[in-house]
Amino acid sequence: MKDNEKKKASSDINEVAKGLSMVLQIGINMIVPVALCLFIGYRLDKWLGTKYLMIIFLFLGIAAGIRSVYVLTKSFYAKDLEKEKEAQKYFDELYAEHKKNASDNADKH
């Protein structure tokens, strides 16, 4: 295998590992707040003799999990978003240059 092929294979493995890591982190970041809030709500219901705190804490746990996943994925995709913006800028400049050349050619004829 050539060095370039080894680097590409290594890069592909790193991307797969990053993706797997992200999936696991998302799962953990969603399950833990929900489970913790359910537990707290259950214990409070048992202690206070109520029947509604577990439901309230369930919704709080879901909200906390969604927020946690949002924060995690936002930082994970920030690099990709920056690369995408750079690529879009390049293609916009290329299109503008092509349009200018086309109009220059039309003026010559």
- Token look-up 């913006």 returns 85
Domain of 63, in residue numbers: 3-81
Residue 27 located in a structural domain? yes
Residue 68 located in a structural domain? yes
Residue 92 located in a structural domain? no
84: confidence class by pLDDT, cuts 50, 70, 90:
confident
The 3-state DSSP class for residue 49 equals: coil
Residue 86 located in a structural domain? no
Contact 30, 61 (CB under 8 A): no
State percent of the chain over pLDDT 90. Answer: 39
Residue 49, sorted as left (phi over 0), alpha (psi -120 to 50) or beta, turns out to be left
Give the pLDDT score at 92.
87
Of 42, 38, 43, nearest in space to 64 by CA: 38
Residue 24 located in a structural domain? yes
Domain count, the chain: 1
Residue 99 located in a structural domain? no
Residue 109 located in a structural domain? no
End-to-end CA distance of the chain: 53
Residue type at 17 in one-letter notation: A
Give the pLDDT score at 5.
65
Residue 101 located in a structural domain? no
Task: Dump pLDDT digits (tens) for 25-72.
Answer: 899 999 999 999 999 999 999 999 999 999 999 999 999 999 999 988
Average pLDDT over every residue of 77-87? 81
Q: How crowded is the C-beta side of 24, counted as CA atoms within 13 Å?
A: 6
Give the pLDDT score at 52.
93
